[in-house]
Structure 1
């Protein structure tokens, strides 16, 4: 393929795939696509885009319809055969121009000599010098509130409460009626459906029907007794959380927007009071077809939906928003002129400041989001901010270039102050394995610490200098990555054809991860696996189908999680005598929920008190 970087016309997905397949080895090495973004086809919000054309139990990336193959794509390409890079400035107005157009000859620029649009704008607003005083912000005071020791199910139901379950039940029944099926799904069945999804995260089987198979190696009695296979399939087929007659045509995630709005409100309401928050992107795996599905090279999850996420230092997700394209109304809003990355950060600050107007915060973000203009706006709002920054966004910064600084000793750093009428920013470059640039409106290089690194040249550990804002960034930036790691450990493994099903299951995973974070903050000692098991077991035992009539089978389940929940424990008479689960004497009464023989007076009470 000749002149990858010099295409003038936009490409369709089909054209791009043909060009990639025709690349030889040398061309593939010299012309590397950095990012590929699939743009929506003309039928982006039609009903027939709801299904993946592949099999439910297999994951393929080739199940694309003709409408998607004809749709345009945005690409960013790197020519590794030369010293130049085809680049686009993520902070400029070029965010609104497709990358397939920006990859023309006019955007083929040198890496350092040419200044980006951010450099052009900030050079006029900031004055660079070596000495200045950073703005003093109000100190964070953590509020003191009551500490509650909630059960795992109670914490999960802070987010997936009765209102959310009723929402799912109502719209699922409406969609079933629309398809001429009986709309008789109950809230208890929705609970059992969610419980089965949670259980599939830590008990994985190749096919979901195997949970109901009569086979010792795969049968799951907890799921099979709670909900039948056909009923589970029926709910999964009709699962909805909105009315299809009132979809917002400009919102590509309109089918899940009511659920997302409800969870965002609850995540923010029960968010722990923290001083530091971080903003980053997260990927939700999806291999079907949808106009917002993206490919991001170098990510653990390369194909799927991209979310903007705001989280605490330990990983509690405070706010999330799916990415719909740079031109989407949900991404532009009132921050269009600042670029996509800064706009995301400012939208997050709007959310947390509206919720907690009297508290101060410190935000951390990576070089995709950071610009000098963003830090200037945060200073005006009284919010502290620290982030890594790309070198071409620093304008005429007097600090040495990264190439020159890398020639110096390891641990060397240089800094400068950028002042404007409204703020003072501290910019620092530090030479470690690579040169990293960090900018902050509150932190500086002092105090300089000593950190241990291994020297390949000396074959031993050495001590090098590390500025204070580098340590602060490393300690507080990983919240979104922590939440991704926690969710990925026991992610719902049941897969469906609907494009929005991974989004609903991811919402369940996020809620459990946040509930577990609250459990740890309250002093709980359960690890995440035990926490998820407690939720799944409690839901399936509490909301399961009524047992069949006849002589009850002896229970092999200790009901460790639902025994003390004080929900639906009813004493009933049984014809055959059994042993009391509390005093072990003969009894003709049992707890209908626990299916354990109990004397109705004292033993029933003692058995259900922890």
Structure 2
């Protein structure tokens, strides 16, 4: 028996003003498009009784004549666009016009000024919280500290157990089976937490055009907390290296940088001051764009932008006799003189076109293995020819040379170059330790990518502190992999 495909009896058939039945989908769509156009613009009278009957059957939202008249009225300047009407105080009665649409217990209810309603009707999406029938909203329930610890532990553990897709961690297939993940948290709950993962209240952020807009607003609470903790729990040794790391990110972002010398090449740049020998990150700063304003406390105006980055990172260590090692991106004569004035020695490679370098050193021709140096008060300029010519500035060393041993030969080199080679790789050391365990899954949200990179950087800092305070032979021999596993377990199994 053929299936009846006629229009259900509960919904009346649509006819035109002459009583003719409308059978074509184009005519019906056009008729209701005109109806809703009039409904939300209130530009003509509603003389379509057949449409009214249809709407009453399917229970679509409708506007009363008063609401249509209110929407059609001209918007006055006295109404406040962003909240309470001007001239009223919290708790007082609103004098601005309001609009309420109601139909059934599961319908949407809006309250607000006409401007907000009109902006919504022009295409601004409503949040999932405004739709009680939304699938995601129905499944959501508030989280707590133990659940968030388990979520972070599961996410970090994926760096040790990588899989191509998230759903494979919850797969029942023996080839992909990982019983730990479904035992800790259902997959739907993990995906919900990932979707709604935020570190700050977005409603408190200002518009991008506002001069006070913070580009790192989404990360600000985490950045503030980690910066304070890193400086509080550990005091680094004298030698410090300043360099940058690159967090891989290929999405659209104004802060994104392209650095061909880095393995990731494209991503978000993080400046770091790390302890030589361990790679402990003492201070860090995320690059916000070339138009960002940076003015560290006590830093002279004549210092270049790259120099101000160094001063900002070293600000907690100034006046304490630390030695900092830099590459040629940061090194300059004014910066080294300023650091020396605040009792901080500096050593680094320098570009030959930097202002203030003595031309005798820049133009000196050397054979392989030769070096040449000039001193001006506290500042020493050195040129050395090994495989190629390299220039150094230092306020720490003398022009003395030492015997340096390589894998194939022994050669005399200036002590400044030997010290630089020994202490400059602190940031690279930290990156090398983290490289096998980085979360490489692509994310659309840039702040989530940076968040978990910072958490893994925190993991390495915690490992350094753990080794420094270890008292038993077993704990002193723990590897970074074993340390991560123990931390992941403590997060996932934490009672609170």
Q: Distance in 2 between matches of 1:542 and 1:482?
A: 31
Taking a change above 3 Å as real, the CA distance of residues 178 and 295 of structure 1, as seen in their structure-2 partners, is farther
* 2-structure distance, mates of 1:276, 1:369: 17
**Per-residue CA distance 1:537-585 (angstroms, 9 max, x = gap):** 2222235xxxxxxxxxxxxxxxxxxxxxxxx8xxxxxxxxxxxxxxxxx
Aligned to 2:316: 351
Equivalent pair of 1:176/1:183 in contact (CA under 8 Å): no
Which blocks of at least 5 consecutive residues in structure 1 are unaligned? Answer: 1-174, 455-460, 544-567, 569-610
Q: In 2 relative to 1, CA 477–483 (structure 1 residues): closer, same or farther, beyond 3 Å? A: same
User: Which of 373, 378, 383 does residue 339 from structure 2 map onto?
Assistant: 378
1:532 aligns with 2:484: yes
Note the C-alpha offset of 1:178: 7.7
Distance change (3 Å), C-alpha of 1:413 and 1:394 = farther
Deviation per CA, 1:103-144, whole angstroms, max 9, x where unpaired?
A: xxxxxxxxxxxxxxxxxxxxxxxxxxxxxxxxxxxxxxxxxx
For 2:89, the equivalent position in structure 1 comes to none
2:403 to 447, 450, 454: 450
1:322 aligns with 2:286: yes
Q: How many residues align?
A: 352
Q: In the alignment, which of 234, 238, 241 is matched to residue 275 of structure 1?
A: 238
Q: Output the CA distance in 2 between the equivalents of 1:179 and 1:330.
A: 43
Match of 1:486 in 2: 433
> 2 CA distance for matches of 1:297 and 1:273?
31
Note if contact 2:254-2:289 (Cα within 8 Å) is conserved in structure 1.
no
Contact 1:222 1:537 in 2 (8 A): no
Which of 302, 310, 317 in structure 1 is aligned with 2:265?
A: 302
Query: For residues 336 and 177 of structure 1, what CA distance do their matches in structure 2 show?
Result: 49
How far the C-alpha of 1:223 sits from its partner, in A, is 1.9
Give deviations 1:125-164, integer Å, cap 9, x for gaps: xxxxxxxxxxxxxxxxxxxxxxxxxxxxxxxxxxxxxxxx
User: Which of the pair has more CA radius of gyration?
Assistant: 2
CA shift digits 1:398-456 (9 cap, x unpaired): 43446822xx1x2210000123xxxx20111111111111111121122x2222458xx
State the structure with bigger RCO (CA 8 A, min sep 6), 1 or 2. Answer: 1
Contact residue 384 and residue 441 of structure 1 kept, 8 A:
yes
| CA RMSD across the alignment | 2.3
Is residue 514 of structure 1 aligned with residue 461 of structure 2?
yes
Task: Name the SS for the 1:290 alignment partner.
Answer: coil
Match of 1:4 in 2: none
Instruction: Please report the TM-score for the alignment, with normalisation by the length of structure 1.
Output: 0.55
Q: Structure 1 residue 487: deviation in Å? A: 1.7
Match of 1:471 in 2: 418
- Decide whether the 8 Å contact of 2:383 with 2:389 is kept in 1: yes
More strand by share: 1
- Describe the superposition over 1:467-524 as per-residue Cα deviations: whole angstroms up to 9, x where unpaired: 1111111111111111111121201244432121101111111111111111222242
The answer as to whether partners of 1:336 and 1:343 remain within 8 angstroms in 2 is no
Residues 364 and 387 in structure 1, CA contact (< 8 A), matched pair in contact too: yes
Look up the match of 2:187. 229
Written as runs of structure 1 = structure 2, the 5 A alignment for 1:167-566 is 181=137, 182-247=140-205, 249=208, 250-313=213-276, 314-330=278-294, 337-353=302-318, 359-393=320-354, 395=356, 397-401=358-362, 404-405=365-366, 408=367, 410-419=368-377, 424-446=378-400, 448-452=401-405, 461-523=408-470, 524-543=476-495
For the Cα contact (< 8 Å) 1:310–1:348, is it kept in 2? Answer: yes
